[in-house]
Structure 1
Amino acid sequence: MTRRRRRTPWAAIAIAVAALALGIATTGLMAAAGAFHRTAPAAWRAQNARCAAPAAKGSAVDVTVWDMGRMMRGPNRPVPDDRRPGRYGMGMMRLVARPTTVPAGKVTVRVVNEGTLTHEVIVMPLAAGRAAGERAPGADGRVSETGSLGEASRTCGSGAGDGIAPGAAAWTTVTLRPGRYELLCNVPGHYAAGMYTELDVTR
């Protein structure tokens, strides 16, 4: 009997720790798979959509930017100031482009912000042998924009602005030669949190 009494608290603790770890792992997998993202877009757009991108000039690349918003911060933490450097969560932001391959020429990058934070999309060339996500952020949480070919960061408009507000769209039209490009969000901390993808341009 004595042995059982001594083991019971340790067994209970072990079960509680295992359950907590399983819950965290499940939440992470669901976030990575876009489970939270898929439950919200239709309702979010119906409630919050402020504008829509125009018809594309040339090929169209539709980009969705998204973050886990309040789930990333916890219930009692304030909305972060997007101007401060640093990571938001553990890669719990997404930037998804469709299609990921287009022919050379005029390309309109149309962005919809389905997150709760301000985002943007910058079009950057990718050097040979480099992959999307390999740029090194500076002390301000941003990567260098040297060589940028275009930017969609104006709420309900084309070109550069102050960021795409939640529920809104932005767009930019660029002329791209055959090669590899990176689409990224350069709001401080967002690139390091996973907001980038590759775009391939063919002949």
Structure 2
Amino acid sequence: MKTASTFGLAISMLMASSTGAVWAASLVQVSLWDKGANTEMATGLAYAAPSLDIAKATMGMKVLPDAVKAGKVTFNVKNDSEDTVHEMIVMFLANPGKPLPYIDAENRVDEDKAGDKGEVSELDPGKSGSLTVDLKAGKYLLICNVPGHYGAGMWTEFTVDP
């Protein structure tokens, strides 16, 4: 009799844990990188810039996976730089392929106008942070908005599928 009740309890726990997995957030790993503080920062590499050659970027982001299903998404972000502070901001692209609104005097994206969905703020070199947000289907851009970094190529496209 104990075996039957133990078996029933095990089945109940297994069903409860598998149900929980359906509701778990998608997990995305983000690495923030650069070629070092002594490297001259590239310019003109903002998303949708004319004649964009991202191979010239002196800093950037690696993201895995680069697409998830709509719903809760957790971004685990690590600043892999040895000497530079970086951040990661999730921006919804209302018009994919068009430049984000930019504040030239501050050398950064206008986060309020661009569709900021959340961020992992300034991470010191070697530090990590995380962000969980509920995202609808569409195109997004992950950016670092520390002055000059976005224009140096520190962004990556991200897709949320229905």
Per the TM superposition, whether the score is higher than 0.5 is yes
Q: Percent identity?
A: 43
Query: Partner of 2:73: helix, strand, or coil?
Result: strand
Give the unaligned 5+ runs of structure 2: 1-23, 44-56
Alignment match, 2:76: 110
Alignment match, 2:126: 167
Q: CA deviation at 1:126?
A: 0.6
**Distance in 2 separating the partners of 1:136 and 1:192:** 12
> What RMSD in Å do the two structures reach over aligned CA positions?
1.5
Alignment match, 2:8: none
Alignment match, 2:140: 181
Give the unaligned 5+ runs of structure 1: 1-56, 74-87, 154-162
Alignment match, 1:68: 35
**Distance in 1 separating the partners of 2:147 and 2:101:** 12
**Distance in 1 separating the partners of 2:91 and 2:156:** 11
Residues 137/60 of structure 1: CA separation in 2 closer, same or farther (3 Å cut): same
| Residue 84 of structure 2 is aligned to residue 125 of structure 1 | no
| Residue 60 of structure 2 is aligned to residue 94 of structure 1 | yes
Question: Which has the higher relative contact order, 1 or 2, with Cα contacts under 8 A spaced 6 or more apart?
Answer: 2
Alignment match, 2:110: 144
Q: CA deviation at 1:103?
A: 0.3
Query: Partner of 2:150: helix, strand, or coil?
Result: coil
Query: Partner of 1:183: helix, strand, or coil?
Result: strand
**Match for 1:152: what amino acid?**
V
**Distance in 1 separating the partners of 2:42 and 2:143:** 17
**Partner deviation per Cα, 1:60-88 (whole Å, 9 max, x = no partner):** 11110011114405xxxxxxxxxxxxxx2
**Distance in 2 separating the partners of 1:201 and 1:125:** 10
**Partner deviation per Cα, 1:141-170 (whole Å, 9 max, x = no partner):** 1101122111011xxxxxxxxx10000101
Greater fraction of residues in strand? 2
| Residue 149 of structure 2 is aligned to residue 190 of structure 1 | yes
**Partner deviation per Cα, 1:1-34 (whole Å, 9 max, x = no partner):** xxxxxxxxxxxxxxxxxxxxxxxxxxxxxxxxxx
With normalisation by structure 2, the TM-score equals 0.70
